[in-house]
Structure 1
Amino acid sequence: MIEAKKVPWHLWVVGVVSLLWNSYGGYDFVMSLTQGEAYMRAAGMNDAMIAYYNAMPTWMYVPWVLGVWGAVAGSILLLLRSRFAVHAFGLSLLGAVVSLLYGQFIDKAPPPPPEMAIMASMPYIIVLIAAFLAWYAWTMGKKGVLR
């Protein structure tokens, strides 16, 4: 008979908090694609900020999709105690890192508007959270908590 691993209380906390955090990313993704400029204006963006985001190359949608939907899937899979949460969070981390690298080293024209300076640390925060979630899922998998 196989003994079931006890689920640590922190798995539920990390799972629920990550689902809430990553659901906002999913909401933002859907609204950005379906409502576009109207959504961005409602979020307080001005013409320069909207133009900057609209200048994103088409290929950058790939890491954006991986980052956002990998994280949402990873959060759900973590709550379901699935070992595939590790893979989903890994894809999310990959998307976040590519987005960070693009923003820091590739995207230099046009420069971000000064109003966006307050958000300069956000890509780093997203990568740190994605790395933590990938590590956490991997650790839970190694401990036998994920099936």
Structure 2
Amino acid sequence: MTMSMSAEAKTPWHLWVVGVLALLWNGYGGYDFVMTFMKGEAYFRAHGMSDAQIAYFQSMPNWLIGPWALGVWSSVAGSILLLLRMRWAFHAFVVSLLGLTTTLVYTYLLSDGGKIGGVDGTIMYAVIAAVIVLLAWYSHAMAKRGVLR
């Protein structure tokens, strides 16, 4: 056994569970992002969005697409990095949180998005934020334990 192998922490079973669930959750976020731009109104209507909600998404400023994409795809990358046992997963989740924060500032402070999305939209944003924070915390904890390289 080499020194690097003996010093490497054993991968806990929960890393695989968290990693796969994170990839499924964030993968759906990626799917949603792509479908928003590919299918547009038909996709929104299939998800039961109101006319006001559809108009909100269709009138979203172009500058917001960047932070939104950063939030979504950084979470997908973080999930993959977690499964690859790479410490960069933490950084990817932090970048995702920054993208989400920018989106939230626009939604709740610079537009009527919070009002238009209603309670359901607010709950969804809260769940998304909580998941990202928990994944950042988890990946940081696994890196400190030596599980992530």
TM-score, normalisation: structure 1: 0.90
CA shift for structure 1 position 70:
0.4
Alignment-derived partner of residue 118 in structure 1: 120
RMSD between superposed Cα atoms in Å: 1.7
Q: How many corresponding residue pairs? A: 145
Alignment-derived partner of residue 24 in structure 1: 28
Residue deviations 1:34-56 (CA, integer Å, cap 9, x gap)? 11111111222232221011121
Distance in 1 between residues matched to 2:113 and 2:19, nearest whole Å: 38
How do 1:1-147 and structure 2 match up within 5 A?
A: 1-2=3-4, 3=6, 4-108=8-112, 111-112=115-116, 116-147=118-149
Distance in 2 between residues matched to 1:31 and 1:100, nearest whole Å: 20
Percent identity between matched residues is 54
8 A contact 2:107–2:113 mirrored in 1:
no
Higher helix share: 2
Gaps of 5+ in 2: none
Gaps of 5+ in 1: none
Local SS of the residue matching 1:48: helix
Local SS of the residue matching 1:144: coil
